Amino acid sequence: MMASEQSPATPSDRLVAGQQPEQQQQQQRPHDNVAFEDVTDGNFVYEFGGPVGAASMIIGFPLLMAYQFLCVYDNKGQFLLPSSLADFIPWVARMSARYWEIAYPSWAGIKIYMGFTLFTVALAYICPGPVMYGYKVPSLNGQRLAYHCNALWAWWITVGTALALHFSGLFRLTQIIDNLGPIMTVAMIWSFLLAGAVYAATVLWGKKHRASGNFIYDFFMGVCLNPRIGTLDLKMVTELRVPWPVLFFISLSCALKQYEEIGYVTPESAFMVLAHWLYSNACNKGEECVMTSWDIFYELESWYLLFWNLAGVPFSYCYSSIYLLKNGPMNFSLGWNVMCYVLLVTGYYFWDTGNSQRNRFRMFWNNTLIKRNAFPQLPKGFIPNAKYLQTTHGNKLLIDGWYAYARKPHYTADLVMSLSWGLITGFGSFFPYFYLTFFTIVLVHRVGRDDARCARKYGADWDEYMRVVPWKFVPYVF
Protein backbone atom coordinates (compact mmCIF):
# COMPACT_ATOMS: atom_id res chain seq x y z
CA MET A 1 0.00 0.00 0.00
CA MET A 2 1.31 3.46 -0.89
CA ALA A 3 0.67 6.07 1.74
CA SER A 4 1.53 9.65 2.57
CA GLU A 5 4.26 10.41 5.06
CA GLN A 6 1.62 11.27 7.66
CA SER A 7 0.06 7.76 7.56
CA PRO A 8 0.15 5.49 10.64
CA ALA A 9 3.68 4.40 11.44
CA THR A 10 3.48 0.68 10.72
CA PRO A 11 6.32 -0.62 8.55
CA SER A 12 4.12 -1.64 5.62
CA ASP A 13 2.49 1.80 5.59
CA ARG A 14 5.75 3.69 5.35
CA LEU A 15 6.34 3.01 1.66
CA VAL A 16 6.14 6.57 0.39
CA ALA A 17 5.70 7.66 -3.19
CA GLY A 18 7.77 10.68 -4.04
CA GLN A 19 6.09 13.93 -5.00
CA GLN A 20 7.06 16.23 -7.83
CA PRO A 21 10.28 18.16 -7.14
CA GLU A 22 8.48 21.47 -6.58
CA GLN A 23 6.09 19.88 -4.08
CA GLN A 24 8.95 18.14 -2.31
CA GLN A 25 10.87 21.37 -1.92
CA GLN A 26 7.84 23.26 -0.60
CA GLN A 27 6.13 20.62 1.54
CA GLN A 28 8.35 17.68 2.46
CA ARG A 29 11.93 18.75 2.18
CA PRO A 30 13.33 19.13 5.72
CA HIS A 31 15.28 22.14 6.84
CA ASP A 32 17.41 21.21 9.83
CA ASN A 33 15.68 18.16 11.25
CA VAL A 34 17.38 15.38 9.28
CA ALA A 35 18.06 12.40 11.53
CA PHE A 36 21.49 12.18 13.13
CA GLU A 37 23.59 9.49 11.51
CA ASP A 38 24.58 6.87 14.07
CA VAL A 39 28.37 7.07 14.01
CA THR A 40 28.84 6.18 17.68
CA ASP A 41 27.33 2.68 17.48
CA GLY A 42 27.73 1.32 21.01
CA ASN A 43 27.25 -2.32 19.93
CA PHE A 44 30.96 -3.05 19.70
CA VAL A 45 32.08 -6.31 18.13
CA TYR A 46 35.49 -7.32 16.83
CA GLU A 47 35.67 -7.47 13.06
CA PHE A 48 38.25 -8.89 10.63
CA GLY A 49 39.22 -11.56 13.16
CA GLY A 50 39.93 -9.14 16.01
CA PRO A 51 43.50 -8.24 17.06
CA VAL A 52 44.99 -11.40 15.54
CA GLY A 53 43.31 -10.76 12.20
CA ALA A 54 44.33 -7.11 12.31
CA ALA A 55 47.98 -7.95 13.03
CA SER A 56 47.97 -10.56 10.26
CA MET A 57 46.71 -8.05 7.71
CA ILE A 58 49.07 -5.27 8.81
CA ILE A 59 51.95 -7.67 8.16
CA GLY A 60 50.43 -9.68 5.35
CA PHE A 61 49.13 -7.03 2.96
CA PRO A 62 52.50 -5.34 2.35
CA LEU A 63 54.11 -8.76 1.85
CA LEU A 64 51.34 -9.79 -0.55
CA MET A 65 51.77 -6.60 -2.57
CA ALA A 66 55.54 -7.08 -2.73
CA TYR A 67 55.12 -10.69 -3.89
CA GLN A 68 52.52 -9.85 -6.51
CA PHE A 69 54.64 -6.97 -7.79
CA LEU A 70 57.55 -9.33 -8.42
CA CYS A 71 55.28 -11.81 -10.19
CA VAL A 72 53.67 -9.24 -12.47
CA TYR A 73 56.48 -6.73 -13.02
CA ASP A 74 59.44 -9.09 -12.98
CA ASN A 75 58.01 -12.45 -14.11
CA LYS A 76 55.41 -11.56 -16.77
CA GLY A 77 52.45 -12.35 -14.52
CA GLN A 78 53.48 -15.88 -13.55
CA PHE A 79 53.72 -17.17 -9.99
CA LEU A 80 57.14 -17.29 -8.37
CA LEU A 81 57.43 -20.42 -6.21
CA PRO A 82 60.19 -22.27 -4.34
CA SER A 83 61.42 -25.40 -6.08
CA SER A 84 60.86 -27.52 -2.95
CA LEU A 85 60.03 -27.25 0.74
CA ALA A 86 63.75 -27.21 1.53
CA ASP A 87 64.16 -24.31 -0.87
CA PHE A 88 61.60 -22.14 0.95
CA ILE A 89 63.99 -20.12 3.14
CA PRO A 90 66.53 -19.57 0.32
CA TRP A 91 63.58 -18.62 -1.93
CA VAL A 92 62.44 -16.00 0.60
CA ALA A 93 65.99 -14.63 0.68
CA ARG A 94 66.14 -14.47 -3.13
CA MET A 95 62.74 -12.81 -3.35
CA SER A 96 63.67 -10.26 -0.69
CA ALA A 97 66.94 -9.43 -2.41
CA ARG A 98 65.25 -9.05 -5.77
CA TYR A 99 62.50 -6.83 -4.35
CA TRP A 100 65.07 -4.57 -2.70
CA GLU A 101 67.03 -4.44 -5.93
CA ILE A 102 64.14 -3.15 -8.04
CA ALA A 103 61.76 -1.58 -5.48
CA TYR A 104 63.80 0.03 -2.71
CA PRO A 105 62.48 3.52 -1.80
CA SER A 106 64.73 5.47 -4.14
CA TRP A 107 64.95 9.23 -4.37
CA ALA A 108 63.12 9.03 -7.70
CA GLY A 109 60.27 7.13 -6.08
CA ILE A 110 60.07 9.64 -3.23
CA LYS A 111 60.02 12.61 -5.59
CA ILE A 112 57.33 11.14 -7.83
CA TYR A 113 54.92 9.88 -5.15
CA MET A 114 55.38 12.59 -2.53
CA GLY A 115 55.55 15.27 -5.21
CA PHE A 116 52.17 14.13 -6.52
CA THR A 117 50.79 13.99 -2.96
CA LEU A 118 51.95 17.52 -2.09
CA PHE A 119 50.62 18.86 -5.41
CA THR A 120 47.26 17.19 -4.69
CA VAL A 121 47.09 18.67 -1.18
CA ALA A 122 47.97 22.14 -2.47
CA LEU A 123 45.20 21.97 -5.06
CA ALA A 124 42.74 20.83 -2.39
CA TYR A 125 43.36 24.08 -0.55
CA ILE A 126 43.36 26.54 -3.45
CA CYS A 127 41.04 25.27 -6.21
CA PRO A 128 37.53 26.72 -6.52
CA GLY A 129 34.51 24.55 -5.85
CA PRO A 130 31.22 24.41 -3.97
CA VAL A 131 31.15 24.05 -0.19
CA MET A 132 28.90 21.17 0.82
CA TYR A 133 27.70 19.97 4.23
CA GLY A 134 27.55 16.41 5.51
CA TYR A 135 25.29 14.70 8.01
CA LYS A 136 24.90 16.00 11.54
CA VAL A 137 27.68 14.58 13.70
CA PRO A 138 26.55 13.52 17.21
CA SER A 139 30.04 13.91 18.71
CA LEU A 140 30.06 17.53 17.49
CA ASN A 141 26.65 18.28 19.02
CA GLY A 142 24.87 18.02 15.71
CA GLN A 143 27.27 20.20 13.74
CA ARG A 144 27.45 19.61 10.00
CA LEU A 145 31.02 19.57 8.70
CA ALA A 146 31.80 21.63 5.62
CA TYR A 147 33.54 19.98 2.65
CA HIS A 148 35.29 22.03 -0.01
CA CYS A 149 34.38 20.04 -3.11
CA ASN A 150 36.98 21.18 -5.62
CA ALA A 151 38.24 17.76 -6.72
CA LEU A 152 36.97 18.27 -10.26
CA TRP A 153 39.13 21.35 -10.80
CA ALA A 154 42.07 19.64 -9.11
CA TRP A 155 41.66 16.54 -11.30
CA TRP A 156 41.69 18.40 -14.60
CA ILE A 157 44.55 20.66 -13.49
CA THR A 158 46.52 17.55 -12.52
CA VAL A 159 45.84 15.82 -15.85
CA GLY A 160 46.71 18.97 -17.81
CA THR A 161 49.90 19.53 -15.80
CA ALA A 162 50.99 15.90 -16.22
CA LEU A 163 50.48 15.98 -19.99
CA ALA A 164 52.31 19.31 -20.25
CA LEU A 165 55.26 17.92 -18.29
CA HIS A 166 55.32 14.79 -20.44
CA PHE A 167 55.19 16.42 -23.86
CA SER A 168 57.58 19.18 -22.85
CA GLY A 169 60.09 16.54 -21.76
CA LEU A 170 60.37 17.97 -18.23
CA PHE A 171 58.92 14.78 -16.74
CA ARG A 172 58.17 11.86 -19.03
CA LEU A 173 55.20 9.94 -17.66
CA THR A 174 56.96 6.71 -18.61
CA GLN A 175 59.15 7.32 -15.55
CA ILE A 176 56.18 6.12 -13.47
CA ILE A 177 56.28 2.57 -14.83
CA ASP A 178 60.09 2.63 -14.90
CA ASN A 179 60.13 3.44 -11.16
CA LEU A 180 56.95 1.66 -10.16
CA GLY A 181 58.58 -0.52 -7.49
CA PRO A 182 60.20 2.35 -5.59
CA ILE A 183 57.02 4.44 -5.90
CA MET A 184 54.96 1.58 -4.45
CA THR A 185 57.36 1.10 -1.55
CA VAL A 186 57.25 4.83 -0.76
CA ALA A 187 53.44 4.70 -0.84
CA MET A 188 53.37 1.79 1.64
CA ILE A 189 55.80 3.53 4.00
CA TRP A 190 53.85 6.78 3.76
CA SER A 191 50.56 5.03 4.58
CA PHE A 192 52.08 3.57 7.76
CA LEU A 193 53.50 6.94 8.82
CA LEU A 194 50.25 8.79 8.15
CA ALA A 195 48.15 6.17 9.92
CA GLY A 196 50.47 6.38 12.92
CA ALA A 197 50.28 10.17 12.97
CA VAL A 198 46.48 10.17 12.79
CA TYR A 199 46.24 7.59 15.57
CA ALA A 200 48.71 9.39 17.84
CA ALA A 201 47.11 12.81 17.32
CA THR A 202 43.63 11.42 18.03
CA VAL A 203 44.78 9.77 21.26
CA LEU A 204 46.63 12.90 22.40
CA TRP A 205 43.58 15.08 21.77
CA GLY A 206 41.28 12.60 23.56
CA LYS A 207 38.88 12.27 20.62
CA LYS A 208 38.82 8.50 20.09
CA HIS A 209 35.73 6.90 18.56
CA ARG A 210 34.58 3.28 18.89
CA ALA A 211 37.93 2.20 20.39
CA SER A 212 38.38 -1.38 21.63
CA GLY A 213 41.29 -0.68 23.97
CA ASN A 214 43.55 -3.04 22.02
CA PHE A 215 46.33 -1.02 20.36
CA ILE A 216 46.84 -3.26 17.32
CA TYR A 217 43.13 -3.55 16.57
CA ASP A 218 42.50 0.17 17.11
CA PHE A 219 45.44 1.10 14.89
CA PHE A 220 44.05 -1.22 12.20
CA MET A 221 40.40 -0.10 12.47
CA GLY A 222 41.09 3.50 13.43
CA VAL A 223 39.87 5.75 16.23
CA CYS A 224 39.53 9.07 14.36
CA LEU A 225 36.20 9.90 12.71
CA ASN A 226 36.83 13.29 11.10
CA PRO A 227 40.57 13.98 10.61
CA ARG A 228 41.07 17.50 9.29
CA ILE A 229 43.86 19.96 8.63
CA GLY A 230 42.13 23.30 8.31
CA THR A 231 39.62 23.01 5.47
CA LEU A 232 41.18 19.79 4.18
CA ASP A 233 39.29 16.62 5.07
CA LEU A 234 41.82 13.80 5.15
CA LYS A 235 39.32 11.03 4.45
CA MET A 236 37.98 12.77 1.34
CA VAL A 237 41.47 13.39 -0.05
CA THR A 238 42.79 9.89 0.63
CA GLU A 239 39.57 8.24 -0.58
CA LEU A 240 39.26 10.05 -3.91
CA ARG A 241 42.13 12.29 -4.90
CA VAL A 242 45.13 10.01 -4.48
CA PRO A 243 44.30 6.35 -5.24
CA TRP A 244 42.31 6.60 -8.46
CA PRO A 245 44.35 9.34 -10.18
CA VAL A 246 47.55 7.44 -9.32
CA LEU A 247 46.00 4.29 -10.81
CA PHE A 248 45.07 6.22 -13.96
CA PHE A 249 48.58 7.62 -14.35
CA ILE A 250 50.10 4.13 -13.93
CA SER A 251 47.94 2.84 -16.79
CA LEU A 252 48.69 5.90 -18.89
CA SER A 253 52.38 5.40 -18.21
CA CYS A 254 52.13 1.77 -19.36
CA ALA A 255 50.41 2.84 -22.58
CA LEU A 256 53.01 5.52 -23.29
CA LYS A 257 55.80 3.05 -22.57
CA GLN A 258 54.21 0.59 -24.97
CA TYR A 259 54.10 3.32 -27.62
CA GLU A 260 57.82 3.95 -27.11
CA GLU A 261 58.62 0.24 -27.42
CA ILE A 262 56.44 -0.91 -30.35
CA GLY A 263 55.29 2.34 -31.99
CA TYR A 264 51.59 2.12 -31.16
CA VAL A 265 49.15 1.56 -28.28
CA THR A 266 47.19 -1.69 -28.47
CA PRO A 267 43.39 -1.72 -28.07
CA GLU A 268 43.86 -3.63 -24.81
CA SER A 269 46.18 -1.01 -23.28
CA ALA A 270 43.89 1.77 -24.50
CA PHE A 271 41.05 -0.09 -22.77
CA MET A 272 42.85 0.08 -19.42
CA VAL A 273 43.54 3.80 -19.83
CA LEU A 274 39.86 4.36 -20.57
CA ALA A 275 38.76 2.15 -17.67
CA HIS A 276 40.90 3.93 -15.12
CA TRP A 277 40.11 7.37 -16.55
CA LEU A 278 36.39 6.66 -16.24
CA TYR A 279 36.77 5.54 -12.63
CA SER A 280 39.02 8.40 -11.57
CA ASN A 281 36.98 11.01 -13.40
CA ALA A 282 33.76 9.73 -11.82
CA CYS A 283 35.23 9.88 -8.32
CA ASN A 284 36.28 13.48 -8.84
CA LYS A 285 33.25 14.75 -10.76
CA GLY A 286 30.91 13.34 -8.11
CA GLU A 287 32.90 14.31 -5.03
CA GLU A 288 29.97 16.24 -3.55
CA CYS A 289 27.99 12.98 -3.41
CA VAL A 290 30.52 11.19 -1.22
CA MET A 291 29.83 12.94 2.10
CA THR A 292 26.75 10.77 2.62
CA SER A 293 28.63 7.54 1.84
CA TRP A 294 29.52 4.91 4.45
CA ASP A 295 33.26 5.58 4.16
CA ILE A 296 32.95 9.27 5.04
CA PHE A 297 30.18 9.45 7.63
CA TYR A 298 30.80 6.14 9.45
CA GLU A 299 34.19 4.55 8.80
CA LEU A 300 37.11 5.69 10.93
CA GLU A 301 40.35 6.87 9.36
CA SER A 302 42.42 3.79 9.95
CA TRP A 303 45.49 1.90 8.86
CA TYR A 304 43.42 -0.34 6.63
CA LEU A 305 41.71 2.60 4.88
CA LEU A 306 44.91 4.62 4.51
CA PHE A 307 47.06 1.68 3.45
CA TRP A 308 44.57 0.45 0.92
CA ASN A 309 43.73 3.88 -0.50
CA LEU A 310 47.28 5.19 -0.69
CA ALA A 311 49.06 1.97 -1.67
CA GLY A 312 46.72 -0.97 -2.20
CA VAL A 313 44.31 0.52 -4.74
CA PRO A 314 46.77 2.12 -7.16
CA PHE A 315 49.48 -0.55 -6.94
CA SER A 316 47.35 -3.72 -6.92
CA TYR A 317 44.54 -2.72 -9.24
CA CYS A 318 47.06 -1.92 -12.01
CA TYR A 319 48.11 -5.49 -12.73
CA SER A 320 46.15 -5.66 -15.99
CA SER A 321 47.98 -2.63 -17.36
CA ILE A 322 51.40 -3.97 -16.35
CA TYR A 323 50.63 -7.44 -17.67
CA LEU A 324 49.63 -6.03 -21.07
CA LEU A 325 52.86 -4.04 -21.24
CA LYS A 326 55.15 -6.88 -20.16
CA ASN A 327 53.58 -9.49 -22.41
CA GLY A 328 53.58 -7.56 -25.66
CA PRO A 329 50.67 -7.13 -28.11
CA MET A 330 47.92 -9.62 -27.25
CA ASN A 331 46.33 -9.70 -30.72
CA PHE A 332 42.90 -10.66 -29.46
CA SER A 333 40.03 -10.77 -31.94
CA LEU A 334 37.94 -7.71 -32.70
CA GLY A 335 34.90 -9.47 -31.25
CA TRP A 336 36.65 -10.17 -27.94
CA ASN A 337 37.82 -6.59 -27.57
CA VAL A 338 34.41 -5.18 -28.49
CA MET A 339 32.81 -7.46 -25.91
CA CYS A 340 35.20 -6.17 -23.23
CA TYR A 341 34.57 -2.54 -24.15
CA VAL A 342 30.79 -3.05 -24.10
CA LEU A 343 31.03 -4.79 -20.72
CA LEU A 344 33.12 -1.92 -19.33
CA VAL A 345 30.87 0.86 -20.62
CA THR A 346 27.68 -0.94 -19.54
CA GLY A 347 29.06 -1.61 -16.06
CA TYR A 348 30.24 1.98 -15.83
CA TYR A 349 26.81 3.36 -16.75
CA PHE A 350 25.00 1.42 -14.04
CA TRP A 351 27.78 2.08 -11.49
CA ASP A 352 27.83 5.83 -12.15
CA THR A 353 24.06 6.28 -12.23
CA GLY A 354 23.51 3.88 -9.33
CA ASN A 355 25.88 5.79 -7.07
CA SER A 356 24.36 9.04 -8.29
CA GLN A 357 20.80 7.88 -7.59
CA ARG A 358 21.44 6.83 -4.01
CA ASN A 359 23.70 9.71 -3.04
CA ARG A 360 21.61 12.43 -4.67
CA PHE A 361 18.53 10.98 -3.01
CA ARG A 362 20.28 11.37 0.34
CA MET A 363 21.54 14.82 -0.62
CA PHE A 364 18.03 15.95 -1.51
CA TRP A 365 16.73 15.06 1.93
CA ASN A 366 19.88 16.47 3.56
CA ASN A 367 19.37 19.84 1.85
CA THR A 368 22.69 19.60 0.01
CA LEU A 369 21.62 18.68 -3.53
CA ILE A 370 23.13 20.94 -6.17
CA LYS A 371 23.15 20.78 -9.95
CA ARG A 372 26.53 20.28 -11.58
CA ASN A 373 27.40 19.79 -15.23
CA ALA A 374 30.62 17.84 -14.77
CA PHE A 375 31.28 15.51 -17.69
CA PRO A 376 29.70 13.06 -18.20
CA GLN A 377 26.20 13.56 -16.75
CA LEU A 378 24.30 10.37 -17.60
CA PRO A 379 20.54 9.74 -17.94
CA LYS A 380 18.85 8.35 -14.81
CA GLY A 381 21.45 9.85 -12.49
CA PHE A 382 18.75 11.49 -10.36
CA ILE A 383 15.20 10.32 -9.62
CA PRO A 384 13.07 13.44 -9.12
CA ASN A 385 10.01 11.53 -7.93
CA ALA A 386 11.66 8.79 -5.92
CA LYS A 387 9.80 6.25 -3.81
CA TYR A 388 11.21 5.45 -0.39
CA LEU A 389 10.49 3.67 2.85
CA GLN A 390 10.16 6.04 5.81
CA THR A 391 11.76 4.63 8.97
CA THR A 392 10.88 5.43 12.54
CA HIS A 393 14.58 6.30 12.98
CA GLY A 394 13.95 9.25 10.69
CA ASN A 395 15.92 8.20 7.63
CA LYS A 396 14.44 7.26 4.28
CA LEU A 397 15.43 4.12 2.39
CA LEU A 398 15.41 4.44 -1.39
CA ILE A 399 13.26 1.84 -3.20
CA ASP A 400 13.24 3.39 -6.65
CA GLY A 401 15.43 3.49 -9.75
CA TRP A 402 17.98 0.68 -9.79
CA TYR A 403 17.34 0.29 -6.04
CA ALA A 404 13.86 -1.05 -6.71
CA TYR A 405 15.52 -4.20 -8.08
CA ALA A 406 18.46 -4.77 -5.72
CA ARG A 407 19.86 -3.26 -2.54
CA LYS A 408 23.44 -2.95 -3.86
CA PRO A 409 23.22 -2.58 -7.67
CA HIS A 410 26.21 -0.23 -7.69
CA TYR A 411 28.35 -3.04 -6.24
CA THR A 412 27.16 -5.38 -9.00
CA ALA A 413 28.12 -2.83 -11.65
CA ASP A 414 31.49 -2.32 -9.95
CA LEU A 415 32.15 -6.05 -10.12
CA VAL A 416 31.19 -6.13 -13.81
CA MET A 417 33.76 -3.42 -14.51
CA SER A 418 36.41 -5.28 -12.53
CA LEU A 419 35.63 -8.43 -14.52
CA SER A 420 36.19 -6.54 -17.77
CA TRP A 421 39.60 -5.36 -16.48
CA GLY A 422 40.62 -9.01 -16.26
CA LEU A 423 39.01 -10.26 -19.45
CA ILE A 424 40.83 -7.69 -21.59
CA THR A 425 44.09 -9.51 -20.73
CA GLY A 426 42.80 -12.99 -21.58
CA PHE A 427 43.45 -15.95 -19.29
CA GLY A 428 47.22 -16.18 -19.20
CA SER A 429 47.60 -14.98 -15.61
CA PHE A 430 45.67 -14.83 -12.35
CA PHE A 431 46.95 -11.40 -11.37
CA PRO A 432 44.75 -9.31 -13.69
CA TYR A 433 41.85 -11.00 -11.88
CA PHE A 434 43.19 -10.20 -8.40
CA TYR A 435 41.10 -7.02 -8.27
CA LEU A 436 37.92 -8.95 -9.08
CA THR A 437 38.75 -11.65 -6.54
CA PHE A 438 39.73 -9.29 -3.74
CA PHE A 439 36.90 -6.86 -4.47
CA THR A 440 34.29 -9.62 -4.36
CA ILE A 441 35.50 -10.68 -0.90
CA VAL A 442 35.56 -7.06 0.32
CA LEU A 443 32.08 -6.24 -0.98
CA VAL A 444 30.46 -9.39 0.40
CA HIS A 445 32.04 -8.65 3.78
CA ARG A 446 30.98 -5.00 3.63
CA VAL A 447 27.40 -5.89 2.77
CA GLY A 448 27.33 -8.21 5.76
CA ARG A 449 28.60 -5.42 8.02
CA ASP A 450 26.09 -2.99 6.54
CA ASP A 451 23.16 -5.37 6.93
CA ALA A 452 24.03 -6.11 10.57
CA ARG A 453 24.38 -2.43 11.40
CA CYS A 454 21.17 -1.46 9.61
CA ALA A 455 19.24 -4.28 11.28
CA ARG A 456 20.27 -2.86 14.68
CA LYS A 457 19.57 0.69 13.57
CA TYR A 458 16.21 0.29 11.82
CA GLY A 459 14.75 -2.84 13.43
CA ALA A 460 11.40 -3.83 11.88
CA ASP A 461 11.80 -1.21 9.17
CA TRP A 462 14.88 -3.04 7.88
CA ASP A 463 12.91 -6.28 7.74
CA GLU A 464 10.26 -4.49 5.70
CA TYR A 465 12.92 -3.00 3.41
CA MET A 466 14.39 -6.45 2.78
CA ARG A 467 10.90 -7.74 1.98
CA VAL A 468 10.32 -4.94 -0.52
CA VAL A 469 13.81 -5.28 -2.07
CA PRO A 470 14.82 -8.90 -1.34
CA TRP A 471 17.85 -9.16 -3.66
CA LYS A 472 21.30 -7.90 -2.70
CA PHE A 473 23.17 -7.79 -6.01
CA VAL A 474 21.23 -9.34 -8.90
CA PRO A 475 17.41 -9.53 -9.07
CA TYR A 476 16.07 -13.09 -8.78
CA VAL A 477 19.62 -14.46 -8.39
CA PHE A 478 21.29 -13.17 -5.22
- The mean pLDDT value for 100-114 works out to 98
Task: Give residue 417's pLDDT.
Answer: 98
- Residue with the larger pLDDT of the pair 294 and 51: 51
Backbone angles phi, psi at 398, to 5 degrees: -70, 130
- Would the pLDDT of 5 be above 70? no
The whole-chain average pLDDT of the chain stands at: 90
pTM recorded for the entire structure: 0.91
Amino acid at 36: F
10 vs 171, more confident: 171
Contact between residue 258 and residue 269 where contact means Cβ atoms under 8 Å apart: yes
> Which pLDDT score is estimated for 89?
97
142 φψ region: left (φ > 0), alpha (ψ -120 to 50), beta (else)? left
In tens, the pLDDT along 227-276 reads 999 989 999 999 999 999 999 999 999 999 999 999 999 999 999 999 99
User: 422-447: per-residue pLDDT in tens?
Assistant: 999 999 999 999 999 999 998 888 88
Instruction: Give burial (CB, 10 Å; 0-12/13-18/19+) of 407.
Output: buried
Burial class of residue 293, CB neighbours in 10 A (0-12, 13-18, 19+):
middle
Q: How far is CA 385 from CA 17, 319, 398, 401, in A?
A: 7, 42, 11, 10
Q: If DSSP codes are grouped into helix, strand and coil, which group holds residue 146?
A: strand
Task: Report the percentage of the chain scoring pLDDT > 70.
Answer: 91
